Structure 1
Amino acid sequence: MAQQLALALAGTIRHDGNGGVADDLADVAGLTAWLDQQTAPLLGYAGSLGPAGELSDERLRLDVVALRRAVRTLFARAVRPGPPSRADSSTLLAPQDAVDQLNRAAARWPVRPVLSWPDQAAPAVTWSGRPADARTRLLAGLARAAIEFLAGPARDRLAACPAPRCVRYFVREHPRQEWCKPSCGNRARVSRHYQRRAANRTD
C-alpha cells in the first residue's frame, strides 16, 4: 500500500499526451478526483476521511502539492546515478529539506499500529492515534506512506521512465524493465527509429 500511494502521489505529474506535462492536482477539482481514486490506500494510512469534496480546498491542495514536491525530490535522489524525471529538473528541493518536510507532515498525527485478525480473514494493520481532523490525517498519512516506501526494499527498483516525453517514476517488476508501461517502450523504439533514419539522411 505504501508503494501504491507514494507512486500515485508522484504520478499526479504526468505526460499530457501532447508533448507537455499535466498536473492532476492543478486545481481543487483535480485534488478531489484524485482523493476519490485513492480512498482504499488512504484508509490504511489516514483512516476514513469522509467525502473528498467536503475535504478539498485550495489550502489542502497546496499542502498536498508541497508534499508531492518533497516526494519527487526524494524519488530523484533514489534513482541516482540515473537522471531524475524530466518534469523535476528545475523544481527539486534540497534533499534534506524534502526529508524534513516529510517528517514534519508525518509527525502532525502521532499514531501507533493496531493489529486486527478476524476469523476466516488475513491479519491487517491499521493506524490509530489521538483525534485529528481529516486534513491532518491525510497529510500525515501521505507522508507516512512515502517514508515507508522510501525506507523499504522497493526503493532500489525505483526508476524514472526514459521514454520520450514521459515524466513518471515507476518500480521495476523485473531487472530488465526499462519503461513504466508498454506504450512508453513503443514510443521510445519509434523515436530511435526516426532518429536513425534522420541520421542516415544527413550522412
Structure 2
Amino acid sequence: MRAVPTWTWLEGHPALDLANTVKRTGMQEHDLLRSPRDLDSWLDAAALPAPRPETVDEADLAAVIALRDPALRLLRAAVGRGPWLAADVGAVNAVLLAAPEIELVGDAPGARTHQPLGEPAVLPRLLARLAAEVRDAAARPDLAFCDAPGCGQLFYRHRTNQAWCGPPCGNRARVARHGA
C-alpha cells in the first residue's frame, strides 16, 4: 500500500498550500493528491480558510483537483511561469460563484468575517474560500516561484531579493550551480 504524503512543507497560506500539492522531483512533477486518503490527510494538515467535510470521496477529490490545477497555472502565470489563460480564470471564478459570500467587519480593527450567501454545502464553501485565496495570492507582489533543483514550490518572499523558498533550496541551487 502506498504511503500518504507528509505535509511538512505547509506554511499556512491556503492558496499556496493547495497549489503546492504538485511537487517536483528533478524536472518531473508529481501529484500528491492521488486518492481520497491523500486528500483527507491534506485537509487535516492544511490551514483551511473554511471548515472541511467530515469525510471525502473520489468526487470530492475530483472537485479539489478541478480547482487546484487551474489555480496552480494562474499562480505560476502571476510570477511569469506560463500564460494567464481565460479557461483557468473561468474555472476559478466558477468555483467562487458556486458558493458566493460577502466580507463583513470583524470583531477587531482590520479583522473580517465571511458570510456565505445562502447555505452552501461544506465542500463548495471550502472550495470557494480556497478560490478566493488564489485570487488574492495572484495579486500579491511577494508571490514567487522557487526554481531550485527538485523544488518548484510557490512561496511568498520575506525579502525583495529572495530567490528560493528556504535555505535548503538555496543550498541545492548553489551546489548545482557550482557543479555546473
What TM-score comes out, normalization by structure 2 length? 0.82
* Paired residue type of 1:26: R
Of 119, 126, 129, which aligns to 2:113? 126
Distance 2:30 2:167 in 1: 20
Cα deviation, residue 15, structure 1: 3.5
Q: Secondary structure at the match of 2:49?
A: helix
2:13 to 4, 10, 16: 4
Checking the alignment, whether the CA contact within 8 Å between 2:98 and 2:128 is kept in structure 1 is yes
Q: Distance in 2 between matches of 1:144 and 1:175?
A: 25
- TM-score with structure 1 length normalisation? 0.74
For 1:166 and 1:50, the matched residues in 2 are separated by 30
Specify the alignment match of 1:141 in structure 2.
129
Q: Relative to 1, partners in 2 of residues 1:145 and 1:19: Cα closer, same or farther, differing over 3 Å?
A: closer
Tell me how far apart the structure 2 counterparts of residues 79 and 115 of structure 1 sit (CA, whole Å).
31
Cross-structure match for 1:181: 166
Residue 112 of structure 1 pairs with residue 102 of structure 2:
yes
Conserved in 2, the CA contact under 8 Å of 1:7 and 1:170?
A: yes
State the partner residue of 1:162: 147
Aligned partner letter, 1:23: D
How many corresponding residue pairs? 168
Query: Aligned partners of 1:101, 1:144: CA distance in 2, in Å?
Result: 12
Kept in 1: contact 2:75–2:134 (CA 8 A): no
Amino acid at match of 1:108: A
C-alpha root-mean-square deviation of aligned residues, in Å?
Answer: 2.3
- Read off the aligned partner of 2:112 and give its amino acid letter: V
Residue from 48, 52, 58 that aligns with 1:49: 52
Q: Determine whether 1:13 maps to 2:22.
A: yes
State the shift of 1:142 in Å: 1.2
CA positional deviation for 1:50: 4.7
Paired residues of 2:53 and 2:123 also in contact (CA < 8 A): no
Match of 1:201 in 2: none
Moved over 6 A (4+): none
Matching residue of 1:199: none
Residue 98 (str. 1) matches residue 85 (str. 2): no
Return the letter of the residue paired with 1:7: L
8 Å contact from structure 1 (residues 24, 34) kept in 2: no
Residue equivalent to 1:67: 67
Kindly indicate which of the two structures has a greater share of residues assigned to helix: 1
What 5-or-longer segments of structure 1 have no aligned partner?
A: 85-91, 196-203
Cα deviation code 1:165-185 (max 9, x no counterpart): 212111211111111111111
Cα deviation code 1:37-74 (max 9, x no counterpart): 22x4323xxxx3353xx2x1111111111211111111
How many angstroms does 1:190 deviate by?
1.1
2:41 matches 1:33? yes
Taking every aligned residue pair, what percent have the same amino acid on both sides?
33
Q: What residue is the counterpart of 1:200 in the other structure?
A: none
**Structure 2: runs of 5+ lacking an equivalent:** 1-11
Q: Which amino acid aligns with 2:129?
A: G
Shift in CA distance, 136/192, structure 1 to aligned 2, threshold 3 Å: same
Q: RCO greater where, 1 or 2, for CA within 8 Å and sep 6 or more?
A: 1
